[in-house]
Amino acid sequence: ESSNGKQAGTGSDVCAYEPNSIVSDACVSYSSLDSINAALSQQLQAVTLHTDFFSHYRLNLYNKKCPFWTDESGTCGNIACAVNTIENEEDIPLSWRAEELGKLQGPKAEHPGKKLQKERAPQKPLQGQLGEDVGESCVVEYDDECDERDYCVPEDERATSKGDYVSLTDNPERFTGYSGPSSQQVWGAIYRENCFSKPAKNQESTSMPPSFGPKNPFQAQAANDLFSVMKEGSMQQGVKDAIANGLSMQPIDQLEFDQECVEKRVFHRVVSGMHASISTHLCYDFLNQTTGEWGPNAECFKSRVLDHPERISNLYFNYALLLRAVGKINKSLKDYTFCSADPSQNARTKMLVVALSDTVKSSGEIFDESIMFQSPDAIGLKEDFKQRFRNISRVMDCVGCDKCRLWGKLQTNGYGTALKILFEFDEKNPRNNPPLRRTELVALMNTLGKVSNSLSALQYFRSQIEESSSTPNVTNSAPKQNASEKSRPERPKLQTVSDAEDEADDYPNFNRRNDPDMSIMEIFREEFGLVYRVFRYIIGSWLAFPQKAWHIVKWEFVRFWHSFVGLQAGERGWSIYIPHRDEL
Ligand SMILES: Cc1cc2nc3c(=O)[nH]c(=O)nc-3n(C[C@H](O)[C@H](O)[C@H](O)COP(=O)(O)OP(=O)(O)OC[C@H]3O[C@@H](n4cnc5c(N)ncnc54)[C@H](O)[C@@H]3O)c2cc1C
């Protein structure tokens, strides 16, 4: 986005939201993405809120120093900025518990070096040394350093590393009050230092080194890194000055972004879409500091997101990009072991994730990544792209609010993972794909969940604002929070602690089943859709039954054989349970 009204990431044509227009740089319309979101959001909620694997995360939240500047005064002391980490080992879900890793018995295998890991199939880095039924991708600990195919500085997953376990449902992304020079400095650094911004004419000598199409891409990386270090002093001074004098930094919307090629546009759109989603969450779960009540703040949403069509466009763009990534790993998810010490939980998690990915896959073409990095400068450009994205993930350690840092790091990791899947994975030949870390998979699904929530919140705010502008007595800008509840569309629930604790029937519900304003046609469509999904589910279950029964027989036979020959029988890898409505 730029001050002269140019639209981020879109050429001149498509920015404003038009339901039937195609989201630029993707290959799907806004309305199709809305329909996909309507079909998918409950499945996503089931995965991200109701499975231990996806509702928890492990990251180094407190022990990484901001590599670019020091700004202790920018630390947020509000209670809403705090994160509840899980301190007791027994509170950590089985699938994430370090002690479970320590329980591993039986045959031992050498930890393969990085080179061997790369040469071997990601699912079989140990090549069966621990036995055929061991999910090796869960046992091997990947190193906390960048594989050159990573777009993000990875979180260290090792049980021995300094990491914190957090429940994502206990720490929902919402308003924290973190603002001022510190947060602006972080956003500024993200846009200014890492995006492909055009140098201001009088700043040519201090802007990013030209790094497109370099002879050696690693030289370009090194140059960028060095440049960041060189800039460190001035950035640090920038924060100090800003804190001392109020804000004197160049506003972000006065930067001109280089939108010439699709890759640079995509980069900017990812960042801006992520920013828009964060803004949406904080406006949707906003603290009214006068009444002390939490609730949506349409004024906040209007000024930060709705009045900037390009930000909405970038939000949809990110949704398309993340969907494509989840669809692309459809096959790998079917082979993935979710590392659960509880096999029935493992089976349920897999079933929910695969069903979600199947729905994405069946939605048709959404995003075509093959058009990117095709030019003669492709290698250099791709390396530069990666390096800049890694810088963004490093900048997240400079965020002065713990909760913002948690979600900022998770979402950067989610987008980094999506980019890695898009540009480094071969759908047809998955053997050579880089490994997907557990934290990456969790980050990817939760980031998709966040954008999905943002799109649902957008619908809510849009109808709120339309409604208030058509009501003469209400202010013409945004509706007040206490406007008549009766005529309002139902407020979609985003992820909150109470949602996670809800009874089955109160599962987070983005559809409008209880909306009194629904027309007969809409009610009919809603009900018909439900009946159709139930029908499909039952037929699908019948068709899948013979194969499932065969797997169960095989599984039980192996268990029986193990105990017969005196080995440990192993856990049961299947379970029978009543499906929940959100699985439809
Ligand atoms: C990583 C991170 C995570 C955060 N998480 C939270 C959180 O969970 N809860 C919370 O309450 N606060 C959070 N914050 C703070 C929040 O994002 C804002 O910085 C803060 O509310 C102050 O807002 P602002 O009005 O100054 O504008 P900011 O949102 O700080 O934006 C700064 C400038 O960026 C430009 N801009 C804004 N949005 C976009 C966009 N989508 N695309 C392009 N340009 C844009 C505008 O020019 C704007 O003036 C987070 C900050 C960061 C850096």
- Does residue 142 have a pLDDT over 80? no
**Taking the complete model, does pTM exceed 0.80, yes or no?**
no
Q: What is the pLDDT of residue 169?
A: 93
CA distance linking residue 539 with residue 234, whole number of Å: 64
Which residues share a beta bridge with 410? none
In 10 A of CB 112, how many CB atoms? 17
Of all atoms in ligand 1, which is nearest to the CA of residue 412?
Answer: 1
Residue 76 is among the residues annotated as catalytic for this protein: no
- Give the residue whose CA is nearest to atom 22 of ligand 1: 179
Q: What is the pLDDT of residue 198?
A: 53
CA of 272 to the centre of ligand 1 (A): 10
Which residues share a beta bridge with 287? 294
Q: How far is CA 324 from CA 320, 350, 362, 444, 544, in A?
A: 6, 19, 11, 11, 26
Mean pLDDT of the chain: 73
Give the SS3 label for residue 107: coil
CA distance linking residue 26 with residue 39, whole number of Å: 20
E-strand ranges in 132-257 read: 164-167
Residue 15 is among the residues annotated as catalytic for this protein: no
**Residue 572 among known ligand-binding residues:** no
Q: Ligand 1: list residues with CB < 6 Å.
A: 1, 173, 175-176, 178-179, 183-184, 186-187, 251-253, 272, 275-276, 278-279, 282, 311, 396, 399, 403-404, 407-408
Lookup: tokens for 9: 């990431």
CA proximity to 305, closest of 26, 1, 512? 1
Cβ atoms 141, 157 nearer than 8 A: yes
SS3 content of the chain, % helix, strand, coil (to 5): 55, 5, 40
Q: What is the pLDDT of residue 202?
A: 44
Q: What is the pLDDT of residue 40?
A: 93
Measured at the CA of 542, the angle between CA 539 and CA 543, to 5 degrees, comes to 85
Q: What is the pLDDT of residue 401?
A: 94
Q: How far apart are the first and last CA of the chain?
A: 39
Lookup: tokens for 61: 């939240």
DSSP per-residue string spanning 471-514: STTS-SSS--TTS-STTSPPPPP-S-HHHHH--GGG----S-TT
The predicted-structure confidence for 187-205, as pLDDT tens digits, reads as follows 988 887 555 555 544 443 3
**Residue to substitute in 278, 392, 450, 496 for testing ligand 1 pocket (most ligand atoms within 8 angstroms of CB):** 278
Least confident of 135-144, 294-303, 526-535: 135-144
pLDDT band at residue 581, thresholds of 50, 70 and 90? low
The answer for residues whose C-beta is within 8 angstroms of residue 564's C-beta and 6 or more apart is none
Indicate if the alpha-carbon torsion angle 453, 458, 463, 465 is positive or negative. positive
Cβ atoms 257, 268 nearer than 8 A: yes
- State the virtual CA torsion across 121, 126, 128, 131 in degrees, nearest 10: -140
CA distance linking residue 141 with residue 163, whole number of Å: 14
Lookup: tokens for 233: 């002093």
**Residue 176 among known ligand-binding residues:** yes
CA 399 to mean position of chain CA atoms = 18
Q: Looking at the chain, how many residues does it have?
A: 584
pLDDT band at residue 287, thresholds of 50, 70 and 90? very high
What ipTM is given for this predicted complex?
A: 0.99
CA 93 to mean position of chain CA atoms = 21
- Does residue 451 have a pLDDT over 60? yes
CA distance linking residue 500 with residue 496, whole number of Å: 6
- Give the residue whose CA is nearest to atom 3 of ligand 1: 404
- Does residue 336 have a pLDDT over 50? yes
The predicted-structure confidence for 337-365, as pLDDT tens digits, reads as follows 886 567 787 888 999 999 999 999 998 88
Give the SS3 label for residue 57: strand
Residue 305 burial (C-beta neighbours within 10 Å; 0-12, 13-18, 19+): buried
Cβ atoms 460, 296 nearer than 8 A: yes
Number of Cα atoms under 13 Å in the Cβ half of residue 473: 2
